[in-house]
Structure 1
Amino acid sequence: MIAATGLSGCGMGLGRNPDMAELMRSQEAMRANMGDPEAMMAKAQLMQEVMNNPDLPAWHDQREKMSMAIGDRQFEQNFERVFDSMTVALASLGCRVNNMERASGYITASIPELPPTQLESLQQEGLRQYAVAKGYSADIFDKKAGPYDIDPNAMMSRYMSGLTLSMVKQTPTLTKVKLRFDNVYYPGLVDQYYAVVWRAVDKQMFLDKGLD
């Protein structure tokens, strides 16, 4: 009876060796869940640089050239007509007007709403350029380092971006408009915002011609 009990105990697998392949898979899964500490540290350091100074000298130069090339426009319409068309165009883009002074021809508003996929793509392009300029790998933000990883796109969207429209009456039938964007640093994104706003303005100016 004693011998049978002993054999029964052995048969229950009390002395069974662990499956090494299964153990290795378990350890690999644990490492994957914890993430790469070095990668997380590098991304955190880079994100700190983005928060402290999100601009680059090369970007600043590109934006300056862009503002001179496509930031100013003249419309062969009286000041009142242009001002009204600008406010309607901004509303059509979902921009929230923060300040509007007709006497000075000054409007500040939130930036237009881009399609989420387009905005995310442009933000990622900007982050890659920023990473390379700071000496990091271009794909540092593309790789998920773990469940506690930083979402750079979500952090970038927290910046209080906006736009400013300044209108000046040059003649009774000629109005100059200056469009600028605040706290939008990546030139590719700025270029897209220029295109979106001016396209909406041109459309509204065309529609408003029927009111004259």
Structure 2
Amino acid sequence: DRDVALVEMTGARVHFDQITTARALPALERAKSNGFDVTAGVSVHHLTLNELDVGDYRTFFKLTPPLRSEEDRLSVVEALRTGLIDLLCSMHTPQDEESKRLPFEEAAPGAVGLETLLPAALRLYHAGALDLPALFRALALNPARRLGLEAGTLRAGAPADLVLFDPDAPFRLDRWTMQSKSKNTPYDGALLQGRVLGTWVGGRRIHGEA
């Protein structure tokens, strides 16, 4: 509310990085409906997990902002679906093993997110909460537009930055098989769907079989 009031006073161009509660949505909607240059994002963790997932206080689930209620999660999922929230991010915040191997209150917040972003986001697709075009807009098109990048689109002349994936391929995540040096993922042991088969940057294949 304070930041939106400042936007309304100054006309500043603002991106709200992490919208994770239903309480924040009316102010965001007001700013957008009044025509201010405002966008908002949310992490894949807050879209697919809630406060009950913390369970026995496993520190892999300690994040900033903290995981919210199921009511909040459903509200932000709907806000992403309608476009009120524009961007879906990985919130990739790796921590070393020692920083997480502590009591919950003392452990560092954060989780790795780059390798799990796609299959975690596809949980929303498989649950019927978002279709693939909505995920594409939030993961690629809208971030590129907000940053003024010639990316996030398949139009002629745009950089050929592509991901080929099977949205239905199932696997159980084992954090020790991840490429990241940090292994602090809240999806450790989770059954996920969505395997990346290949990636291209500027038309050059950098991952997957030729």
Q: Which TM class, normalised by the smaller chain length?
A: under 0.3
Q: If you compute each CA radius of gyration, which structure gives the higher value, 1 or 2?
A: 1
Greater relative contact order (Cα 8 A, min sep 6): structure 1 or 2?
A: 1
The structure richer in helix per residue is 1
